[in-house]
Amino acid sequence: MTGTSKKRKFNFRALPLYIIFTAAILFFIVKLVNIQITGTDRYIKTMALTREREVAVQSLRGEIFDRNGTPLVKNEYTEDVMLDYQSLPTDQTELNETLSRIAAVITQSGRQVNTVMPVTGVYPHIAYDNEELSTQTAKNRMYRFLLYHNIRSDVGCLELYEQLLEDFGLLDGEGEHIYDPDTEDVIVRLRYSLDSTDFAPDNPYKIVGDTDLKLATAVLESGCRGVYIKKNYTRVICVPGVGSNVIGRVGKIPADRVGEYLAKGYSYDAVVGLSGAEAAFEDILRGEDGVTVYVEDTYGNVISSYVKKEPVPGKNIYLTIDIELQAEAERVLGEQIRKVAAAGRASGMEDNGEKADSGALTVLSAKTGQVLALASYPTYDLSTFSEDYASLAADPAKPLFDRCLSGTYQPGSTFKLATTIAALMSGTITTDTRIYDSWKYTYYSDYQPTCWRAGGHGELDLIDAIGVSCNYYFYEVGRLTGIETMNRYCRMLGLGDYTGVELPENKGVLASPEYKESMNKTWVPGDTLQAAIGQSDNSFNPLQLSSYIAAAVNGGTRYKATVLLKTCNYSGGEEQFNAPQVLGTAEISQTAVSAVKRGMKRSKELTSTTKYYQFPIGSKTGTAQTSKTNNNAVLVAFAPYDDPEITLSCVIENGASGVNAAAPVLNTISYYFGLDANGNPLPENKD
Ligand SMILES: [Zn+2]
């Protein structure tokens, strides 16, 4: 019976255990079902023991090429090794150990660990770095650090360091150093850096930047907690100092535009286009940022990671600019401006070009509106922009100002071609209309302007009048045509209007009674005479001059100016061409087109600097008065004569006379068509 009683007793006492055991089996069965069938158990478990951290993955920005595929802006990739606040150990000893191990990997690769502690030397031979401490940032960090660690603000350097050895747990119970001097130093400096730079969950610390993949991988493989890799790219300017005004810059979002960008889904630290094509084509170049999620245990160890959203790279763009032509245009423009200034100084005369210090040269396709070159002088180098910024901004010659698009200039006599078109098209004159230039224009008794040539040009027809740039002829033609009719044609040619180019431009002013009224002045008959020769309020940007000549010589098609040739995928496929767009069609008869071309050919033949040029072109000078004594040199041209392919404009500020703007235009035409300086074909290459 003992056995029975024992057994009963046993059974009786075992009942609660039995229930627990059964429950446990049931639990494991449920668990098994969950794992094997629904798979939710692991999820529930990890929800309790892990957390997920989202890290933005910057998308690649599209790269920029010229029309021939020459790279202008490329991406260069680097990796930053970051310390993450939430996953670094909180235990002092563990933290020191982790930091020392990460630092060791970095140092072994030949790189230095980023630290900001303003202390020089090696303990105990140390001193404050007073140069570093003279900066406000270093001062602020120090102040914050001392406050945080409850250390008096006038603490000496050695005293501080020894205090930190103790506070940071770098001494053992006997006060002996735990680490070797180098390791100890890097731990002190790193911990000072973390505690003084707002290291926080949303503010990781870059322990080493711009590393290669090898070092980044080595750090990750060291198995240290609290570290992750941030991929970066930097924009690399491939042809430094050329086309900077067209290509433009990228940078952090300007403080006053943060709201606007955030609304479009940008992150605070996004890199955006700030000027030139980088800004104009932001929506094409910009990709979409991705998100990677890191799953970590409670100790901050990364258990796994997954891509929540793949980044989408931006598209590459090909500009219409030919970077070699652009370089040549910039070179010859700068050379000519320096030459004009030197000749002006040598002449000993005043207002004879000695003040020439800036200008613009534009090259436009007359058949598509594609901009081939936009040279603005002086200019700057995008690759050293940040370092040069202070001096560039302070330079009175304003190298950051794009004179091709933002500068507006009086066209002077280059405007006479527009007057010609209006007068011919309205039937006011014919190409045979002869007018006698007696120097002083006496139609009005109270306003009698004169021709530029003393004694006048005598009797002229239209082509000769353009050729010699007779003012008298165009006073009379302007008066007969009237300002309203003149402007109707000027508007068709795009004068005083945007060229349509994607970069910021100043559209200038087409002189008119309405404009003068808006300035609270009254239009008088004399204004029409001045407007007809390109003075009065007329003022246009240089690209607009090229664009107007293009419409005049191509038969009236006003193409939208563009700097975008095509876009394609980041990997190179799916090209999308930017087809030429027509902004308007000017009413120009073949007779009028021919008159403009013949007039410009005559002008080319009668102008000292252009008459020896052998290649068939048309050109027209303009000397635009900017003040009583100063003149800008202006020249417009097209080439070749029979079937105009390109139009050009050049302005040299304070360049004294229009002829001074000829050389850079001729040189650029020669470069474009592969000719020598005189416009003759280059000798055949025997190779
Ligand atoms: Zn004259």
The DSSP bridge partners found for residue 227 are 83
DSSP labels, 151-182 = --TT--HHHHHHHHHHHTT-B-TTS-BSS-HH
Q: How many other CB atoms sit within 10 Å of the CB of residue 396?
A: 7
- Three-class SS of residue 590? helix
Measure 434 CA to ligand 1 centroid, in angstroms.
Answer: 12
Q: Going by DSSP bridges, is the β-strand pair 458-460/125-128 parallel, antiparallel, or unpaired?
A: unpaired
- Read off the pLDDT of each residue in 624-634 and give the average, rounded to a whole number: 84
- Read off the pLDDT of each residue in 197-203 and give the average, rounded to a whole number: 83
pLDDT digits (tens, 9 = 90+) for 585-615: 999 999 999 999 999 999 999 999 999 999 9
d(CA 244, CA 66): 13
d(CA 3, CA 27): 33
Q: What is the pLDDT of residue 157?
A: 95
- Read off the pLDDT of each residue in 180-194 and give the average, rounded to a whole number: 95
Q: What is the pLDDT of residue 45?
A: 44
Q: Which residue has the higher pLDDT, 313 or 18?
A: 313
CA angle, 365 as apex, 360 and 368 as ends, to 5°? 135
d(CA 362, CA 646): 10
Measure 472 CA to ligand 1 centroid, in angstroms.
Answer: 5
d(CA 622, CA 540): 13
Measure 620 CA to ligand 1 centroid, in angstroms.
Answer: 15
- Report the mean per-residue pLDDT for the chain: 90
Q: In the structure, what pLDDT confidence band is assigned to residue 214 with cuts at 50, 70 and 90?
A: confident
The single residue listed with the structure tokens 């800036």 is: 358
Label residue 272 exposed, middle or buried (CB < 10 Å: 0-12, 13-18, 19+): buried
d(CA 418, CA 596): 9
Nearest to 246 by CA among 348, 360, 132, 144: 360
Measure 456 CA to ligand 1 centroid, in angstroms.
Answer: 5
Measure 453 CA to ligand 1 centroid, in angstroms.
Answer: 6
Mean pLDDT lowest among 217-231, 364-378, 464-478, 630-644: 217-231
Q: For the chain, what is the radius of gyration of the CA atoms?
A: 37
Measure 139 CA to ligand 1 centroid, in angstroms.
Answer: 72
Measure 603 CA to ligand 1 centroid, in angstroms.
Answer: 13
Do residues 490 and 551 lie in contact, with contact meaning Cβ atoms separated by under 8 Å? no
Measure 189 CA to ligand 1 centroid, in angstroms.
Answer: 81
- Three-class SS of residue 622? strand
pTM attached to this predicted model: 0.79
Is the confidence at residue 3, as pLDDT, over 60? Answer: no
Q: What is the pLDDT of residue 368?
A: 98
Q: What is the pLDDT of residue 397?
A: 93
Neighbours of ion ligand 1 (CB under 5 A): 437, 451, 457, 470, 472
Encoding tokens for residue 669?
Answer: 């035409």
Q: How many other CB atoms sit within 10 Å of the CB of residue 616?
A: 12
d(CA 650, CA 664): 8
Q: In the structure, what pLDDT confidence band is assigned to residue 26 with cuts at 50, 70 and 90?
A: very low
Q: Where exactly does CATH 3.40.710.10 map onto the chain?
A: 323-673
The single residue listed with the structure tokens 């024992």 is: 6
Q: Domain spanning 53-318: which superfamily?
A: Penicillin-binding protein 2a (Domain 2) (3.90.1310.10)
Measure 26 CA to ligand 1 centroid, in angstroms.
Answer: 111
DSSP labels, 315-361 = PEEEES--HHHHHHHHHHHHHHHHHHHHHHHHH--TTSSTT--EEEE
List b or e across 454-480, with b for residues whose CB sees 16 or more CB atoms inside 10 angstroms: eebbeebbbbbbbbbbbbbbbbbbbbb
Mean pLDDT lowest among 1-5, 115-119, 548-552, 671-675: 1-5
Q: In the structure, what pLDDT confidence band is assigned to residue 210 with cuts at 50, 70 and 90?
A: confident
Q: In the structure, what pLDDT confidence band is assigned to residue 53 with cuts at 50, 70 and 90?
A: confident
Mean pLDDT lowest among 197-211, 274-288, 491-505, 662-676: 197-211
pLDDT digits (tens, 9 = 90+) for 356-389: 999 999 999 999 999 999 999 999 999 999 899 9
Measure 468 CA to ligand 1 centroid, in angstroms.
Answer: 7
**Residue 504 backbone dihedrals phi, psi, to 5 degrees:** -60, 135
Q: Where exactly does CATH 3.90.1310.10 map onto the chain?
A: 53-318
Q: What is the pLDDT of residue 17?
A: 42
Query: What proportion of the chain, given as a percentage, has pLDDT over 70?
Result: 92
Is the confidence at residue 43, as pLDDT, over 70? Answer: no
Q: What is the pLDDT of residue 302?
A: 67
Nearest to 361 by CA among 338, 339, 377: 377
| Four-residue CA torsion sign, 65, 70, 76, 77 | positive
Q: What is the pLDDT of residue 305?
A: 77
Max mean pLDDT among 9-23, 156-170, 212-226 falls in 156-170
Q: What is the pLDDT of residue 201?
A: 77
Q: What is the pLDDT of residue 58?
A: 78
Measure 466 CA to ligand 1 centroid, in angstroms.
Answer: 10
Q: What is the pLDDT of residue 7?
A: 39
Q: In the structure, what pLDDT confidence band is assigned to residue 679 with cuts at 50, 70 and 90?
A: very high
Measure 439 CA to ligand 1 centroid, in angstroms.
Answer: 6
Measure 451 CA to ligand 1 centroid, in angstroms.
Answer: 5
Measure 623 CA to ligand 1 centroid, in angstroms.
Answer: 14
Is the confidence at residue 23, as pLDDT, over 80? Answer: no
Q: Which residue has the higher pLDDT, 290 or 357?
A: 357
DSSP labels, 652-679 = EET-SSGGGGHHHHHHHHHHHHTB-TTS
d(CA 645, CA 367): 6
| Four-residue CA torsion sign, 248, 253, 254, 257 | positive
Length of the chain: 687
- Three-class SS of residue 576? strand
Do residues 532 and 478 lie in contact, with contact meaning Cβ atoms separated by under 8 Å? yes
Q: Which residue has the higher pLDDT, 198 or 358?
A: 358
Do residues 445 and 412 lie in contact, with contact meaning Cβ atoms separated by under 8 Å? no
Please report, in angstroms and rounded to a whole number, the separation of the first and last CA atoms in the chain: 120
Neighbouring C-alpha atoms within 13 Å toward the C-beta of 466? 29
- Read off the pLDDT of each residue in 492-501 and give the average, rounded to a whole number: 98
Residue 223 CB partners (closer than 8 Å, separation 6+): none
Q: What is the pLDDT of residue 46?
A: 46
Q: What is the pLDDT of residue 301?
A: 65
Measure 447 CA to ligand 1 centroid, in angstroms.
Answer: 17
Measure 464 CA to ligand 1 centroid, in angstroms.
Answer: 10
Measure 343 CA to ligand 1 centroid, in angstroms.
Answer: 27
Nearest to 543 by CA among 402, 356, 401, 336: 402
Domain 323-673 has CATH 3.20.20.100: no
Q: Which residue has the higher pLDDT, 202 or 234?
A: 234
Which own/partner contact pairs does 135-142 have at CB distance under 8 Å and 24+ positions apart?
A: 141/116, 141/196, 141/197, 142/118, 142/196
pLDDT digits (tens, 9 = 90+) for 297-309: 776 666 777 889 9
- Read off the pLDDT of each residue in 628-646 and give the average, rounded to a whole number: 94
The single residue listed with the structure tokens 């370089």 is: 327
Measure 661 CA to ligand 1 centroid, in angstroms.
Answer: 21
pLDDT digits (tens, 9 = 90+) for 434-450: 999 999 999 999 999 99
d(CA 70, CA 89): 50
The single residue listed with the structure tokens 């002008």 is: 603
